Amino acid sequence: MTATTATKQTAKRGTPILWHRRRGRVVVLLCIMYFIAYFDRNNIATAGPSIIKEFHLTNAEFGLAASVFALFYALLQIFGGWIGEKIGPRRGLLILGLLWGLSTLFTGLAVGLVTLLVARAILGFSESATFPTATQAMSRWVPPDRNGFVQGIVHSASRLGTALAPIAVAAMILWSGWRSSFIYVGILSMLWALIWYVMFRDRPREMKGITKQELAEVPDLPKAADLPPVPWKRLIRTILPVTLVDFAYGWVAWVFFTWIPTLLSDVYHQDVAKYGLLTSLVLIGGVVGDTLGGVASDWLLRRGWSARNSRRALLLIGFIGAGVCLVPLVFTPPLTLTVVSLALSFFFLELTNAQLWAIPMDVAPLWSGTASGMMNTGFGIAGIVSPIIVGSLVDWTGGFAWPFALSIGILVAATVLAGIMRPGPVPPNVPAEDAAITGQA
Residue boundaries of the structural domains of the chain: 17-426
Note the pLDDT of residue 336: 95
Amino acid 361: pLDDT: 87
DSSP state of 221: P
Segment 371-388 mean pLDDT: 88
- Give me the pLDDT at residue 421, please: 95
**Identity at 392, one-letter amino acid code:** S
Lowest mean pLDDT among 134-148, 166-180, 215-229, 284-298: 215-229
Contacts 24+ apart (CB under 8 A), 231-234: 231/367, 231/426, 231/427, 231/428, 231/429, 234/426
Identify the pLDDT of residue 440: 40
Identify the CA nearest to 198 among candidates 100, 101, 90: 90
What is the per-residue pLDDT for 47? Answer: 82
CATH of domain 17-426: 1.20.1250.20
Report in angstroms the alpha-carbon separations of 79 from 82, 101, 104.
Answer: 5, 21, 22
Of 34, 77, 357, the residue nearest 192 (C-alpha): 34
What is the band of 4 on the pLDDT scale with cuts at 50, 70, 90? Answer: very low
Query: If you average pLDDT over residues 201-217, what whole number do you get?
Result: 84
Residue 317 has pLDDT above 90, yes or no: yes
CA 72 from centroid of its chain's CA atoms: 16
Burial class (CB in 10 A: 0-12, 13-18, 19+), 22: middle
Mean pLDDT of 277-291: 90
Average pLDDT, the chain: 85
Label residues 343-378 b or e (16+ Cβ within 10 Å = b).
bbbbbbbbbbbbbbbbbbbbbbbbbbbbbbbbbbbb
**By three-state DSSP, how is residue 438 classified?**
helix
User: Which sign, positive or negative, has the C-alpha torsion 46, 49, 52, 57?
Assistant: positive
Residue 9: is its pLDDT beyond 70?
A: no
Overall average pLDDT of the 63-91 stretch: 79
Average pLDDT over residues 107-122: 88
pLDDT in the model for residue 17: 63
Rounded CA gap, 150 and 146, in Å? 6
Burial class from Cβ neighbours inside 10 Å (0-12, 13-18, 19+) for residue 281 reads middle
